[in-house]
Copies of this chain bind each other. A is one copy, B any other.
Amino acid sequence: MDTSTMKGDCSVPSFKAAELNIKLSMDPVNHHDVFTFGTVFTNHMLTIEWDASEGWQRPMIRPFENLPLHPACSSLHYGVQLFEGLKAYRGDDNRLRLFRPMLNMERMVRSAKRACLPIFEPSELLECIRKLVEVDQDWIPRSDTASLYIRPTLISTEPILSVRKPGRALLFVIMSLAGSFYQATAKGLSLWADAKYTRAWQGGTGDCKMGGNYGGGLVAQSEAEDNGCQQVLWLYGEDHQITEAGTLNIFVHWINEDGEEELATPPLNGIILAGVNRQSILELTRQWGEFKVTERYLNMAQLCGALKQGRVKQVFGSGTACMICSVGEIIYMGEHLHIPCQDKRTQLSARILKQLTDIQYGRTPSDWTFLV
């Protein structure tokens, strides 16, 4: 009898959190009032090695340090790499919480399959991360805006120049301080929509958090900044479908073509990242039952038409780093499209943000939180 099919995912060959080895750093905890997102790291990291013959090795929490990588390893040549992003929050009750972390763990396994990297049992990684957060818990300030950004990463360490499925890999988790992501969002984010560059396409890797999706977009991001915008609004196809913005899923809150109030976001059709906040916003607003909530195609012509007719209530983006950001302007084909509703008292995004942060900081009990 094949037990692997009986036990389902439980029988995935995986590292075990119970075997975690912890070696503590002697360095002190550093508190920072001012810092750039993603540059200040905690004292410890989690590392788990894998090779095809031995499988996963024992997980280790150890002092944060450089990774000695063979110069031929295929993570450096062929982008055989993927990552995740989630946050740890210190609640009003001083307890530490993660927000729906199993969604990240499961997405990481999906990315690993797409990248031909080894899979693992999601709950085992979550338990290792829980311990890592525990070890570095003093890095997390008691603050409504601060949190700790957790970055699980999985890379090939196969030292071979042939393009092939790796036989060695390294899973590591590092953590960095996170404050308010977009300091200057009072006026709302400004987006640069230019169809010249494409982020992702059918049959590609745009629905996974593989590195190549991001490096390929740096040139467009540079152009956006040169044009005074903060992020790229990625378009797709001849009809300039709206897909994502930089590292954000996009939502349009409007009166749709049929006169209905609707919150719309592009469907998970292979070129859209299945964001955890995206899913949470959809679930939350569907629970409210106050307006139509839809995963549907949206193109620039539809948005421009709705803006002209005054049907757009708000456009906003969601992502782990920024949570929810209102969009104030889109530059498209030389035109500055002004997006209404940058008043936080009436924004749908502000209402959603409050409900989500109330959950994340423990003010509202929810099964979306995971206690560290």
Contacts and interface: CB of A to CB of B under 8 A. Distances in A.
Interface stretch (A134-142, A149-157, A302-310, A324-332): A149-157
B163 A217 contact: yes
A79 B212 contact: yes
Interface-centre pick from A72, A78, A205 (highest chain B CB count, 10 A): A78
B221 A215 contact: no
Given A64-B71, A68-B67, A72-B38, A165 B211 contact: no
A212 B200 CA distance: 12
A177 to B, nearest CB: 10
Nearest to A159: B39
A116 B85 CA distance: 23
Interface stretch (A190-198, A259-267, A335-343, A345-353): A190-198
Contacts of A202: 198
Nearest to A234: B203
Chain B CB within 10 Å — which of A67, A156, A215 has the most?
A: A215
**Main SS class of interface, A:** loop
A213 interface: yes
Interface residues of A, number: 68
A165, A211, A221, A321 interface centre (most CB from chain B within 10 Å): A211
Contacts of A164: 218, 221
A181 to B, nearest CB: 9
A246 interface: yes
A160 B71 contact: no
Interface in A27-84: 36-39, 41, 45, 64-72, 74-81, 83
A115 B96 CA distance: 38
B71 A218 contact: no
A57 to B, nearest CB: 17
B72 A214 contact: no
B38 A76 contact: no
Contacts of A67: 68-71, 76
A204 interface: yes
Interface string A146-176: 0001010101100111111100000010101
A216 interface: yes
Contact of A160 (B36, B45, B153, B205): B36
24 contacts: A39-B160, A41-B72, A65-B71, A71-B172, A71-B174, A72-B151, A72-B176, A78-B214, A78-B218, A79-B79, A79-B210, A79-B211, A79-B212, A79-B214, A80-B214, A115-B215, A116-B219, A116-B222, A201-B201, A205-B212, A205-B215, A210-B212, A211-B212, A211-B215
Interface of A: 36-39, 41, 45, 64-72, 74-81, 83, 85, 113-116, 149, 151, 153, 155-156, 159-165, 172, 174, 176, 195-198, 201-205, 210-219, 221-222, 246-247, 321
